[in-house]
Amino acid sequence: MDKEVILTGLRSNSEFHLGNYLGAILPMVELQKKHAGQYQLNMFIPDLHSFTTPIDHGKLYEQTHKNLEYFVAAGLDIDQPDTFIYRQSYIPAHSEMTWLLSCFSYFGELSRMTQFKDKAGLMVDQAHVTDHLTKTTVYEPNKIKDELEDHISVSAGLFTYPVLMAADILLYGARWVPVGDDQRQHVEFARDIAMRINNKFGDIFVLPADNNEQLKFSERNNPVRIRSLRNPEKKMSKSVEDPAGTIMLSDSPDDAAKKIMEATTDSGANIRFDFEAQPGISNLLQILALMSDKPQSEVNSEWEDKDNYGELKSAVAEAVKNFLTDLQTKLAAVDDQELMQKLEADEEAMRKIADATLLKVQKAVGLRPA
C-alpha cells in the first residue's frame, strides 16, 4: 500500500437520530473530503462489534444497510477510488486474527479498559460498593446472589471488544484511527499488542500512531454532543424514555419541527450560550449553528441577550425541517444496487489485504510453513 491508511467505523446497528448525524455521520463525510487523494480511507461497518450492545437480531442486516444509505445521502462519495467500504463480518480474517491477538493479550490490561468497566456497570465508587454489599449481605442475604449474577452476565464479547478492534486496525496496517475519547484507550492497546508481537516475531504489523499523534491528526478534541430536547442535561439518545426529546432522521419534517417547538428551555430571562446555566437554550443554539453551517460564535452573536425564546425555537425548527426534507429526498435517491456493487467490490479487495496480513502472522506463530 503506497498511501497511509485511515481506518474508521460506520455506525451500523441502530436507527439514527440528529445527534448521530451531527456527531458521527457528518464527521465521516468531512473526513473523506479532507483526505481524499492523500490517504487510503477504510470505512468499515462494525457489524460484529454490534453484538456487544442490545440489538434486534432480526433487523440487524436491514438496519446496517439502511444506515449506510444515510451516509451516502449525507454526502459520502462511494466513487472515490481511495475510499473502501466493507462489512466487518464479510471478511473472516477479522475473527481469526482476533483469536490470535487474544492469545498475546493479557487479562489484566483488558480488565482495566475504561469502556468495559463503564458498560459493564463497574465504574462506581469502591467505598459505595463496599457499603452497599455489606448492607445487602447483613439485611438482605438472599439478594447478594442476584447482585453478583448481574456482573457475571456481562458478555465475554464486551470484555474482548478491544482485541477485535485491534484486529480491525492491524489487518490493514492502519496508521490513523480517528476515534472519540472512549475509544482512544483501545487504539493504544492495538499499538501495544502490535509492538509486543513485532518484538517477538519481527516486523509484522504497521504500528498505529501514538495517542498524541492521533489527537493532532484527527482534530477531534471537541466532539459534537447534541442533547435531549426534553432533558438537556442528558445527551440525545434513542434510549431516552421520552421520544419527544429525540429527533430521529426518519421523523417527518413537521413532527421534528413540533419537537423543537416543545423543547425544554431555561429560567433565564435572556438567551445565552452557556451549557451550565442554560443547557436547553445552548442546545438549540448549537443545533442552529450546525444546521445552518455557521460558526457557533456567529450564531451566538445573532441571538445572545434577546429575550424571545419562541423566536429562537421557530428558527431552529425551520432549519431542522429544511434539513430533514433535503436529507430524506437524497436518501430516497440512493441507488441500492450501485451501493451493493461498491460493497462487494471493496470487500473482495479488503479480503486480499486482510488475508495477506493474517498469513504473515500464521507463518510467524507456526501455523503455516515459513
| Residues forming the active site | 119, 235, 238
CA 44, 48, 50, 55: dihedral to nearest 10 degrees?
130
Distance between CA atoms of residues 2 and 251, nearest Å: 43
Q: 313 CB contacts (<8 Å, ≥6 apart)?
A: 260, 261, 263, 265, 284
Distance between CA atoms of residues 370 and 359, nearest Å: 10
Distance between CA atoms of residues 357 and 164, nearest Å: 15
63 alpha carbon, distance to own chain's centre:
15
Beta carbons of 239 and 218 less than 8 angstroms apart: no
Q: 363 CB contacts (<8 Å, ≥6 apart)?
A: 369, 370
Distance between CA atoms of residues 241 and 37, nearest Å: 44
Strands of 40-45's sheet in order across: 83-87, 40-45, 5-9, 174-176
Cell numbers that stand for 225 in this block: 454532543
Cell numbers that stand for 202 in this block: 519481527
Cell numbers that stand for 209 in this block: 500512531
In the block, which residue shows the cell 429544511? 322
Amino acid at 256: A
| 8-state DSSP, 10 | P
